[in-house]
Structure 1
Amino acid sequence: MFVPFHELPPSARIWIYQASRPLTEAELAAVQPALRQFSEAWTSHGRELRASAEFRHRQFLVIGLDEAVADASGCSIDSSVRFVRELEAALGLQLLAKEQLAFLGPEGQVQLFNRRDLKQAVADGALQPNSLYFDNTISQRGALEAGWPAPASATWLARYFGAA
């Protein structure tokens, strides 16, 4: 069953998929019915799931699930990945690729850095400890709302800045 994303509890499980480019306003509007339809129809072993899906910052698909109602099963997770692949094809972008890391730029735009270029970006000063990083590995809605994006030095990227 679809619920508005903000109505999911802080403990709700989330999956974040980063798009290879920002969506246009027209694309965001066009994809809304599909996000709602997916959330409405998503099930686990025949049980209705209390779920939501939305795009944030025009570049991140966030799928949320209230596991207090029903947990995701392997089959339901597979169906969510199929949905993400369908979105990739419909929008002509990548959502499942992991080679790009996203940061919030000074103008509020999302900046992508290739993982293999990360050390050089830090050495060049393009990335600083206080650069706001979109840590797409967070898995609960509460963490998303509390600190996403977060300073790079407060994430797994701290090691690139000499922090422990």
Structure 2
Amino acid sequence: MYIPFDEMVDTSRVWIYQADKQLSTAEQSQIESKCNSFLQEWAAHGQALKSSFQIIHDKFLVISVDESFNQASGCSIDASVALVKNLEQELGINFFDRTKICFLVNGEIVEIPLNGIKSEVKNGNIKSDTLTFNNLVSDIRSFQTDWKVEAKNSWLKRYFQ
């Protein structure tokens, strides 16, 4: 069952998918339609899952499930991954490329390949206080507090020592 994202409890589990490009309005509408339909019916072993999603910065798809209501099973999680893979095929977007890191620079999302980070730091384009995204946060509380972090407080800190 779908509920608005801001009504999800802090302990709700999250999965963050980073698109390999900025999502257009039309693409976001298609993603919203597919996610709404999927989440209305999403279940684990026949038990409805209280779930939600949102698209942030025209780039990130965040899916959440309140496991205090019903726990997501391996099969139900696989179904959500299949949803995202289906969106990839329909829209020609890659949500699973982990070789690019996003930063928030002057209010804009900047995506840098892993092998280009060192030079971007050296050139001063990425600074220690530049915000980056920790797409590995596991719940809403962490998402709200630790998703956007300064580069010096992330695994990228080694570039600023």
What's the TM-score, normalizing by structure 1?
0.92
- After TM superposition, give the deviation of residue 136 of structure 1 in Å: 0.6
CA distance in 2, matches of 1:159, 1:50: 39
The equivalent residue for 1:152 is 151
Shift of 1:146: 2.4
Identity of aligned residues (%): 35
Partner residue, 1:58: 58
Alpha-carbon distance in structure 2 between the residues aligned to 1:142 and 1:98? 23
C-alpha RMSD over aligned residues:
1.3
Q: Could you tell me which amino acid in structure 2 is paired with residue 93 of structure 1?
A: I
What is residue 123 of structure 1 aligned with on the other side?
A: 122
1:120 CA displacement: 2.1
Tell me the matched-pair count: 161
1:49-128 to 2 correspondences below 5 Å: 49-106=49-106, 108-128=107-127
Q: For the residues of structure 1 that align with 2:61 and 2:122, how far apart are their CA atoms?
A: 31
Q: Which aligned segments of 4 or more residues in structure 1 are displaced greater than 3 angstroms? A: none
Structure 1 residue ranges without an equivalent (≥5): none
For 1:118, give the aligned amino acid.
I
SS at match of 2:137: coil
1:43 maps to 43
Name whichever of 97-106 and 151-160 sits farther off: 151-160
1:31 corresponds to 2:31: yes
TM-score, normalization: structure 2? 0.94
